[in-house]
C-alpha cells in the first residue's frame, strides 16, 4: 500500500512539474510580426474586406500564447494564398463587438468567410496544411 501511494504521489508531482514547464514555455513564446499581406480587420472595414473574397479571420489577443503560436502559421499561409483569398486578424480586446457578433468564446478562433458569410470555424492551434486544405 505504501509503495502504491509513493508511486501515485510521484506521478502527481511529475504532472504538476510538466504543467508548470508547459505554461512557462507557452508564456515565453515570442511575438512575431504579421506578414504584410495580413489585414487588420475592424468593425469599420470588416464588410468591405470580406465582400467577394475568401477570408480566413483570426480572432486573437495579445496576451494569448496559443494565438502567438498561430502567428508564424498564418504568416506562411498568407504568403501562399492565391488572389481573392486573404488572411485577416481581429484583436478581440480591441474589437469586442465583432467578437460578440460572431460568438467567439475561445481564442484563437479562425473563421472562414466566403463573400462575407461564415462557412467554417476552427478553434485552437491549427497547421498550415490543415488550413490550406479547408480553404479549398
**Catalytic site positions:** 64, 67
- How far apart CA 70 and CA 83 sit, in angstroms, is 22
For the CA atoms of 81, 68, 120, 100, the dihedral, rounded to the nearest 10 degrees, stands at: -130
Place of cell 491549427: 126
- How far apart CA 86 and CA 74 sit, in angstroms, is 10
- Centre a 10 Å sphere on the Cβ of residue 130 and count the other Cβ atoms it contains: 13
> Contact at 8 Å (CB) between 113 and 129?
no
Amino acid at each position: 500500500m505504501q509503495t502504491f501511494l509513493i508511486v501515485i504521489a510521484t506521478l502527481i508531482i511529475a504532472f504538476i512539474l510538466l504543467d508548470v514547464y508547459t505554461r512557462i514555455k507557452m508564456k515565453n513564446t515570442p511575438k512575431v510580426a504579421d506578414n504584410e499581406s495580413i489585414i487588420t480587420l475592424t468593425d469599420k472595414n470588416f464588410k468591405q474586406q470580406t465582400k467577394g473574397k475568401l477570408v480566413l479571420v483570426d480572432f486573437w489577443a495579445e496576451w494569448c500564447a496559443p494565438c502567438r503560436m498561430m502567428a508564424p502559421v498564418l504568416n506562411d499561409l498568407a504568403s501562399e494564398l492565391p488572389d481573392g483569398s486573404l488572411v485577416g486578424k481581429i484583436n478581440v480586446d480591441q474589437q469586442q463587438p465583432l467578437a460578440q457578433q460572431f460568438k467567439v468564446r475561445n481564442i484563437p478562433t479562425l473563421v472562414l468567410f466566403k463573400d462575407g458569410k461564415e462557412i467554417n470555424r476552427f478553434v485552437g492551434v491549427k497547421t498550415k496544411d490543415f488550413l490550406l486544405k479547408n480553404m479549398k
